[in-house]
Structure formats: C-alpha cells, structure tokens
Amino acid sequence: MWELLHREPGLLFLILIALCGTLIAVTAIIAHYWHIVRQSEADASLKQDMLNRGLSIDQIERLLKASSQSVEIPERPDTISDKEYTLIEKLIDEGKSAEDIERILRACRGPAASAERTSKDVEKALAQKANAPLREGRGIGA
C-alpha cells in the first residue's frame, strides 16, 4: 500500500479529504444528538423543579405551552421611499420646520399614514441631512 501512495501522491490527498469529510459528518451527527439529549435533560429538570415547587400538572402544562409559543415581532421595513426622502430634503433646504414637513408628508400619504411613522421618517431624514456635509468632507457651516 505504501508503494501505491509513493507512486500516486494525489491518492493520499483524496484519502485525507475523505477521512476529514467523514470526521466532520460524524462530529455533526454526534453534536446534533448531544444537543437533543441536553435539551431533554433541561426540560426534565425544569419539570421536576416545577413539581418540587408544588405546581399542579395543569399549571405546568399551561406554563410549558405558553413558553413554547414564540412571539415573532415583524421587522419594521424602511417606510420612507426615495420620493419621500427627496421631498423631505427639498423641504429642509427650503427651511421648513419639522412640524410642517410632517404635515406635508401626512397630506401626501393620505389619511392612513400614522403620525408616529411620519415623525420617525422626518427625524431620520433630518439626521441624515445633518450628517451629509460631514460625510462629504465639508463642515456644517461650509
């Protein structure tokens, strides 16, 4: 066998790759099942602790059901469009106040627009506008 490896050194490389792949796969499988075992131990320990505290089976079931239901909070998408951002920039350049800009944006968006959303958009645009001269290498008063 050693003679074959001396004649074909690339074969050694392939054997090492196969061994490493097998080792990685076995490690992943062991880690997965180890995680399941540890999770089961933690669940059993929690249930035993609840029983030791004197909770009834119904209370334990209700607590476990409530804790297993995860509440997903949807991420708030960036609600300001490019057109609105351009409008806000122009209104800032004209010297409009934040209240005036909010009122104009609410009028453009229609009655369904919330005041909180409009306020946050104006604050964001004002902050970006204030930081723009600094990013461009000019001072604020330049």
Q: Which residues constitute the domain of residue 27? A: 2-66
Are residue 45 and residue 93 in the same domain, yes or no?
no
19: phi > 0 → left, psi -120 to 50 → alpha, else beta; which? alpha
Note down pLDDT in tens along the chain; length 142 residues: 678 777 887 888 889 999 999 999 999 999 999 999 999 999 899 889 989 999 888 888 888 887 776 666 666 655 677 788 888 888 888 888 888 888 887 787 776 555 555 566 666 766 666 665 544 454 444 4
Are residue 97 and residue 127 in the same domain, yes or no?
yes
The verdict on residue 25 lying in a domain is: yes
Tell which of 66, 92, 113 closes a domain: 66
Contacts of 124 by beta carbon, 8 Å cutoff, 6+ apart? 80
C-beta contacts of 63-70 below 8 A and 24+ residues apart: none
The verdict on residue 122 lying in a domain is: yes
The verdict on residue 141 lying in a domain is: no
The verdict on residue 71 lying in a domain is: no
Work out the burial of residue 118: count CB atoms within 10 Å of its CB; fewer than 13 is exposed, 13-18 middle, 19 or more buried. buried
pTM of the model: 0.41
